[in-house]
Chain A
């Protein structure tokens, strides 16, 4: 069936699309264009002159060990956050999918964390984990564990990973639950009749049938971990101690806003932008193919 609507002229369709085009242009293409432009310029420290330098900023970045370190850290961070957030969410969704008493309340409660602002959740977490005032932090130290994320980079990284994952579990949970519920009950029942027990059934039937959802969430989570965790990390550690929790977005912020190196900062954000475009393209291709069959 052809669901396309064919317009006679061009005026009406243009008018219909115009609001969206204006919004996208104003809030996305314009700043993005500015960033691309300024990524090819260099400013002196006093903001006196702007010079066009071509690819110099990019070349400098790719030769900078600090930048590469931050890139590797970001990859590790994104991987850890995605795996943790998706694994937890899947486990919770599997439990919520069962016919149990109070499952509606359980589902609702699981969705709440998504509504908490990143900085707020970070502050709340500080109350828990701070080595001097935090409940859990003090308890860890009393147990003889040397817990202080102000000094220990690995502990700090662990903390921002957990905080970032916690935020994303709700979102993943909703999608996994929807994915689980779209698996026909009869298919799972047929597997039971065929003799498949819990874990085997989960591995051979549920996981493959969840693959489209999982892939979609993987992309969303990587993008989230790479970009939307700025608030959480900045509130928790400011990228410290040292640069141990400084992901690429934090570095963009520090170099551009704090250190006023607009050229380099812009170049970094252009690179990040290319990253998102690549991820989104992969996703569109994959999902597009899924819906064709």
Chain B
């Protein structure tokens, strides 16, 4: 159990600036999820904390102690790797006991800790097996067990569920969260899966091109995305974006497609005619309201709901997705209305969120 503090962390590989400026602090027992598209620097950030890479600038502090220059073996941090990275020549028991033996624990203590972790993860019958005799889910559990037995100050998870099938992923996701809560070990969890990001973290760090795009609780990120990148990244299917301009002295936006929508949460500052991007999630569009006409390209029934893919009739208009409960009406064009209270307003130039009064 410990706090983690990152100050001004930067990393460059040759000419490529992978991490630009990361400042972050985790409280004791907190689980922070780092999410972003591939290449955004999230794995590099994790490896800097692990000590597997050395930062170009900045410091890493664990429990107040500067560990930036410390070798990974001296950091007391455990990591769960994407491909599990089990020792192929060791049994499950030895995989978990390896780190404990290095620390010089007694045989009895090692046995007790491994047994406890194995029981917690349901690995009791597999302790004598070799990794190659295990299924993907079992390997994943062994990797977890290897981290747990160490009772480290910090857990690092590097996309640990991405090699599992969908069903197992859901199951392990819940299990990881349960274990982390129970053990109360401060954790950093890297993923590109936004469902994992939403469900696992106390807080969420969305990264974009080596920079933190937003750091907040998952619901805050979902409800008030800081910019169009975050807005499009979190939420599935992704948010729809419509070009518009500011009008009525900041009290409303006029869509390029025609209608004017009044802001329900207060006026925005800015010159008349300022370029905006309006964001609206697929579930916040109402079919049957004659505000917009949308040409239907494709209908995807998902069972309990249906996705309608379409676009506005103007040439070169961006695609739109509408989510409706139940079945969708089969027609070539539908009338769609925007639920104004769910509108997200962004500055089109900078992509940043425009809050009321700002």
Instruction: Give residues in A with beta carbon < 8 Å to B.
Output: 184, 186-187, 189-197, 200, 204-205, 208-209, 293
Query: When each residue 123-146 of chain B gets 1 if its CB lies under 8 Å from chain A and 0 otherwise, what string results?
Result: 000000000100000000000001
Complex partner residue of B98 from A184, A196, A208, CB under 8 angstroms: A196
Q: Which residues of chain A are near B8, meaning CB under 8 Å?
A: none
Given contacts A196-B73, A293-B132, contact A186 B85 (CB under 8 A): yes
Question: Which single member of A190, A192, A205 contacts B71 (CB below 8 Å)?
Answer: A192
Q: Is B103 an interface residue (CB 8 A)?
A: yes
SS class of chain A's interface: helix, strand, loop or mixed?
helix
- Write 12 A-B pairs (CB below 8 A) sorted by A numbering: A186-B82, A187-B86, A189-B52, A189-B79, A192-B73, A193-B50, A193-B72, A193-B99, A194-B98, A194-B146, A194-B150, A195-B99
Interface centre among A187, A190, A197, A293 (most CB of B within 10 A): A190
B200 at the interface (CB under 8 A from A): no
Asked if B88 and A187 sit within 8 Å, CB to CB, the answer is yes
Q: Is the CB of A209 within 8 A of B79?
A: no
Q: Establish whether residues A200 and B85, one from each chain, have CB atoms under 8 Å apart when the complex forms.
A: no
Closest 8 pairs (CB-CB, A-B): A194-B99, A186-B85, A190-B85, A192-B72, A195-B102, A208-B89, A195-B73, A186-B81
Q: Residues of B within 8 Å of A, CB-based: how many?
A: 26
Query: In the assembled complex, which residues on chain A have CB atoms less than 8 Å from the CB atom of B146?
Result: 190, 194
Q: Which residues of chain B are near A204, meaning CB under 8 Å? A: 98
A191 to B51, CA, bound (A): 13
Residue of A with least CB distance to B102: A195
Inside 8 A of B81's CB, which chain A residues have their CB? 186, 189-190
A190: nearest chain-B partner, CB-CB: B85
With an 8 A cutoff between CB atoms, is B278 at the interface?
no
- Shortest Cβ gap from A116 to chain B (Å): 36
Indicate if the CB atoms of B78 and A193 lie closer than 8 Å: yes
Contact check, A193 vs B87: say whether CB atoms are below 8 A apart.
no
With A187-B87, A194-B146, A205-B87: A200-B102 Cβ-Cβ less than 8 Å: yes
Residues from chain A with a CB closer than 8 A to the CB of B83 are 184, 186
User: Do the beta carbons of B71 and A193 come within 8 Å of each other?
Assistant: no
Q: B86: which A residues are within 8 A, CB to CB?
A: 187, 190
A104 to chain B, nearest CB (A): 16
Instruction: Select from chain B the residue with minimum beta-carbon distance to A185.
Output: B85
B280 contacts partner chain A, Cβ-Cβ < 8 Å: no
Is the Cβ of B72 less than 8 Å from the Cβ of A209?
no
B35 part of interface (Cβ distance < 8 Å): no
Chain B residues near A193 (CB-CB < 8 A): 50, 52, 72-73, 75, 77-79, 99
On chain B, the residues within 8 Å of A186 by CB distance are: 81-83, 85
- Encode contact with A along B182-196: 1 for CB under 8 Å, 0 otherwise: 000000000000000
